[in-house]
Amino acid sequence: MPGLLGKLSAASSWLDKPAETIKTAVTPILGEKAPRALKDILYGNWLGHPLHPLLTDVTLGAFTTSMAMDVIGEERASDLSLKLGVISSGATALTGAAQWYDATYHDEPRRLGALHATLNTTALGFYIWSWVLRDQDKRAAGIATAWVGHSIATASGYIGGHLSYVLGMGVDRNIAVNPVEKWKDTGVQESELVPGELRRVDVKGTPVMLLKDGPYIRAASPVCPHLSGPLDKGKLDGTCVECPWHGSVFDLTNGRAVHGPATTALTLFDTQVLNGTIQVRTREEDKG
């Protein structure tokens, strides 16, 4: 049964238009033709997990600190904290858009993401207004305006939590895959593998992707950790495979996400050949 936000999404087709407007606005930065290095920075590819949660802590932490300083009468500290929150909000918004951009093909993340962005923009407007009022020495009005902004930002944060923890945006899609604890047969003979060709097999309910790489047999999860794209259907370049859905690139020698939008590494498997049959088991460091 859908929860409150699921029902809100289903009843809010009007959010499709602002969603399309937002996506069009960020396409020069996050679209297929955008600079890959810039996108990797915004995704958090270099960090090993999405950058957005880290920056939300900075922005919301600054706004919350500003509120606390207002309560105890520390005017200078409050104003500085509020301004830090405003200044950091641009980068926070862009990294959030990076997580949301590829999920817009489905109604609920598309619509709730647009609502999340709209509420955050509205809250930011109140914070900027508060900044102006404070600089004009209209302190009481500035504080009241900031508190309105914080209330809106809190509601938006609730939606952000739903996007992350219910809809799984930014969550590693391989995290729930059961490890292969002991050596298991893949049912594939080594002689059947075509060098330079990806092959997907099922090992006791765990999907595994095999690659014959010279004298080595590489084995990794075929599920892209970004949004579950089928890596075995992707483009292979040496030992790197590109997800056919959103273009994440992984190095099958170490599992590393070379390019985003994926930020986490693939689960890798050790391989051995017994009586001509390929066997696999999850690498110790990937068992969790």
Contact 124, 140 (CB under 8 A): no
Contact 182, 281 (CB under 8 A): yes
The number of angstroms, rounded, from the C-alpha of 11 to the middle of its chain's C-alpha atoms is 26
Q: What is the pLDDT of residue 176?
A: 76
Contact 46, 265 (CB under 8 A): no
Residue 124: CB atoms within 10 Å = 21
Q: What is the pLDDT of residue 35?
A: 94
80 burial class (0-12, 13-18, 19+ CB within 10 angstroms)? Answer: middle
pTM, full prediction: 0.88
**Domain boundaries along the sequence of the chain:** 4-165, 184-286
Q: What is the pLDDT of residue 284?
A: 78
Q: What is the pLDDT of residue 287?
A: 56
| Side-by-side strand order, sheet with 240-242 | 235-237, 240-242, 249-251, 257-259
Radius of gyration of the chain (CA): 23
Closest residue by Cα to residue 173 from 97, 256, 229, 105 = 229
For 138, residues 6+ apart whose C-beta sits below 8 A from its C-beta are none
SS3 223: strand
CATH of domain 184-286: 2.102.10.10
Low-confidence ranges of the chain (pLDDT < 50): none
Q: List the Cα angle 168/171/177 in 5-degree steps.
A: 100
